[in-house]
Structure 1
Amino acid sequence: MVLEKFRKARKKAPADDYIVALDIGTEFVKALIAKVGDEDLEIVGVGRSRQEVSDMHSGAIADIAGVVRNCEEALADAEEQAGLQAKRVVIGIAGELVKGVTDTIRYRRPQPDRPLDSSEMEFIIEKVQERAQIKAQRQIALESGNDEVEVKLVNSALVSIHIDGYKVSNPIGFQGRDVAVQIYTAFAPMVHIGALERVADELSLELLAVAAEPFAVSRSVLGNDASSNFTAILADVGGGTTDIAVVNDGGVEGTKMFGIGGRSFTQTIASDMELSYKDAEKLKINIGHDQIKPSVAKEVNEAIGKTLEVWIAGVELALSEFDSIDHLPNRMLLCGGGSSLEKLVTALEGSEWRKELPFTKQPTVHLISPSEVIGVTDTTNDVTDHTFITAMGLLRVGYDTILGSGEGDSIKEKLNRLLRI
């Protein structure tokens, strides 16, 4: 009955200049309500609700009804704090079957003396997306064992344009024969996207955009600067998955995901020490506390160490797949609840795991702070740490989607607008 009232209330009083970000994580649902300004977003409502173990599997929704209940709880808290209800929502998508790659297509122009125009660029971009979709479909079919799997484009962003080997920020008006366009594209199986659409529908919200979560994290730190030279490895360590994005000179080189997150550490502790999941989680969170007996702490640390080895191997494998990059960035920025585990940061600061990877020097590792998210301010004082970064990134994707129609934009922004779904 309460839920019915909640849904009816949202239908009555939507606020047009506000958006909701829903970060549906394996461990928690986080809801942020933000007011959309001319140049920034202002968070006015925050909500958070814990998921049941059976609600999610490897970052993807396993129980729609359970997830809807948790979303409603998180949304109710955010709306009460904001004193209003937003009608448009951006939802993140994660899981091992979400594929984000950067593809380069080389297009040989039949009339090299004719200046490039926007319709020709649209044609080139269409070809890149077609090729990327075929690749993603094959890869997801192979990994899922289902040849008939349907995939859908969730995000695209322009990385770079070269004409006859010369990098340009605005290709319009240039002459030349060979145009090389690099575009990041993320695809997901329709079954995952369908589940998110159903969640939005059940919540009586208009689905503004679905975003691959590592892409959302990259948007959180890139902001509006089309000429940004931001370079880093971003790792979102959630409950069920770890999502990695490599950003080079402001362009997303690609995203990788693998199914090991904070829950894997808890499950190993529970299994090795014959504890319930809840008790194991408490021990993991409080591992540095004085009240834990040394003998118990030793067992917990041994269990964490086992999973940590597997997790580090996953990071190494994911980064090794960025084979088009000469050198990996020397900065690693972490977010997500799983990255709260100190041993995880310490392990990344070690040197053994990266020996076979193209780092030029030992990377620095630190947690992303909400204050580092560009163009998003928090008026609630409740967005306090790295666990909210993905949700803040989803707000940025929503902002991009809504405000992507300015007249004074650079060609890169105009082309990115053309790419957005």
Structure 2
Amino acid sequence: MLFKSKQKEDANDNFIVSLDIGTEFVKALVAEIDGENINVIGVGRARQSLSDMHSGAIADISSVIHNCETALIEAEDQAGIQARKAVIGIAGELVKGNTSTIKYRRPQPNRPLDDAEMEFIIEKIQERAQIKAQREIALETGNKDAEVKLVNSAIVGIHIDGYKISNPIGFQGKDIAVQIYTAFAPMVHISAIERVANELALDLIAVAAEPFAVARSVIGTDSSSNFTAILADVGGGTTDIAVVNDGGVEGTKMFGIGGRSFTNQIANEMNLSYKNAEKLKVNLSGDKLQSNIVQEATEAIENTLDVWISGVELALSEFDNLDYLPNRVLLCGGGASLQGLVDKLEDTDWWKDLPFNKKPKIKYIQPSEVVGINDGTGKLVDHTFITAMGLLRVAYDTYTGNENVGDSFKDKLNKILRV
């Protein structure tokens, strides 16, 4: 196995790399930061083996490192540079992303709120969220001693004495309610990602929950964004869902059905190898197959599609803090390319028992819709690259938060929330 040299000569601080370690593919993007713009200058991709990942998490570290190496070399060769600062995505059913609300009664309500008090409040929220995530993961794994680590955190909303405000600094008031999104992951998965970064001689500046990264890709840097949508990233092993309301991430949910579930069903029902079943699935929406083959494959995956849509319903039903769910569902990820999946969302009544005020519209997220990221390679052609682009946005947030923190309230909050 070939590993990158530990010495990366002339590594420029304005270059960042994102690694989307998916179940089916590893995708690597190299980008240059130019002010508020992120310019992609290198793209690489490598296919994973069947045993490399399990339910969206790394199962074979050495093989995944080799695949990441292959994708990264391709991206760096195109970019003509070696980037050191990296963000790597994390997914899987044990990544827990929730929005928590904590109410805090100030002992001195007539004293203007300052940065130190806000930092204290946020730390208390994160502590409470970590305990909750640890309990959930312990329950699901049967390991009461499971360690978890905070991977992402973002403010959703702040109220003082019942009034919603964007910047609480300087306000007086007795009761503060803060909504904050936090994502936690098991340390065993974090450690595997850290090992990958170390072997590739990357400076791991952040690990990001992938649905959070997708949300960051479409929200961008606008602190007053009113972007509202349900985001569904359908990968090879999992489906990751994020609900964004008025520019804030309300929460993320994941369940273990992705593209490979459909491939396995075709392989089993039609007595095919996995490789041939995958090829058949990819060509289902084209004109390359005979109609009887298309019909047989479509019937083979029907039950799995029913289970998948039930997973979507269940995930969205857990957002019980919202009066209404957004009426847009935006898709990304390689698994979302299956036309039957889109048809299921568009042509069935799965949404009627959920708090939608009208039938949701379904569309793919296009690379051109990712805020502030420009493709200089011509290779970011469809919705399958959105997660990797979102990871670049998280890298940018972290980079600017560490290096160029200004005096705005948003900058100060970003610094407090840095993980």
TM range (shorter): over 0.9
Map Cα deviations across residues 359-397 of structure 1 (whole Å, 9 max, x no partner): 000111100000000010010001111000000000000
**Rounded Cα–Cα distance in structure 2 between residues aligned with 1:407 and 1:54:** 42
**Rounded Cα–Cα distance in structure 2 between residues aligned with 1:297 and 1:352:** 24
* SS of residue paired to 1:91: strand
Indicate the larger mover: 184-193 or 336-345.
336-345
User: Is 1:217–1:393's contact at 8 Å kept on the other side of the alignment?
Assistant: yes
Matched, 1:217 2:214: yes
1:246 matched residue in structure 2: 243
Indicate the larger mover: 13-22 or 43-52.
13-22
User: Is 2:285–2:338's contact at 8 Å kept on the other side of the alignment?
Assistant: no
TM score, norm. by length of structure 2:
0.98
Closer/same/farther in 2, CA of residues 53 and 178 from structure 1, 3 Å limit: same
1:137 matched residue in structure 2: 134
Deviation for aligned residue 1:407: 5.5
* SS of residue paired to 2:394: helix
User: Is 2:405–2:411's contact at 8 Å kept on the other side of the alignment?
Assistant: no
1:278 matched residue in structure 2: 275
2:387 matched residue in structure 1: 390
Aligned-residue CA RMSD (Å) = 1.2
Deviation for aligned residue 1:406: 4.3
Matched, 1:330 2:327: yes
User: Is 2:8–2:82's contact at 8 Å kept on the other side of the alignment?
Assistant: no
1:416 matched residue in structure 2: 414
Unaligned runs of 5+ in 2: none
Q: Which amino acid aligns with 1:236?
A: D
Deviation for aligned residue 1:304: 1.8
Deviation for aligned residue 1:351: 4.1
Equivalent in 195, 199, 204 of residue 198 of structure 1: 195
User: Is 1:242–1:258's contact at 8 Å kept on the other side of the alignment?
Assistant: yes
2:291 matched residue in structure 1: 294
TM score, norm. by length of structure 1:
0.97
Deviation for aligned residue 1:13: 4.0
**Rounded Cα–Cα distance in structure 2 between residues aligned with 1:194 and 1:98:** 14
Closer/same/farther in 2, CA of residues 278 and 350 from structure 1, 3 Å limit: same
User: Is 1:129–1:185's contact at 8 Å kept on the other side of the alignment?
Assistant: yes
Matched, 1:19 2:16: yes
Closer/same/farther in 2, CA of residues 305 and 171 from structure 1, 3 Å limit: same
Q: Which amino acid aligns with 2:398?
A: T
Q: Which amino acid aligns with 2:318?
A: E
**Rounded Cα–Cα distance in structure 2 between residues aligned with 1:301 and 1:370:** 29
User: Is 1:328–1:359's contact at 8 Å kept on the other side of the alignment?
Assistant: yes
Aligned residues: 418
2:28 matched residue in structure 1: 31
Equivalent in 5, 8, 28 of residue 7 of structure 1: 5
Q: Percent identity?
A: 70
Deviation for aligned residue 1:200: 0.3
Deviation for aligned residue 1:355: 1.6
Deviation for aligned residue 1:88: 1.2
**Rounded Cα–Cα distance in structure 1 between residues aligned with 2:96 and 2:125:** 15
User: Is 2:97–2:184's contact at 8 Å kept on the other side of the alignment?
Assistant: yes
**Rounded Cα–Cα distance in structure 2 between residues aligned with 1:116 and 1:14:** 42
Q: Which amino acid aligns with 1:374?
A: V
* SS of residue paired to 1:16: coil
1:399 matched residue in structure 2: 396
**Rounded Cα–Cα distance in structure 2 between residues aligned with 1:205 and 1:379:** 23
User: Is 1:157–1:420's contact at 8 Å kept on the other side of the alignment?
Assistant: no
* SS of residue paired to 1:85: coil
Equivalent in 107, 110, 114 of residue 110 of structure 1: 107
* SS of residue paired to 1:347: helix
Unaligned runs of 5+ in 1: none
* SS of residue paired to 1:162: strand
User: Is 1:226–1:410's contact at 8 Å kept on the other side of the alignment?
Assistant: no
* SS of residue paired to 2:322: coil
Deviation for aligned residue 1:309: 0.4
* SS of residue paired to 1:324: coil
Matched, 1:361 2:358: yes
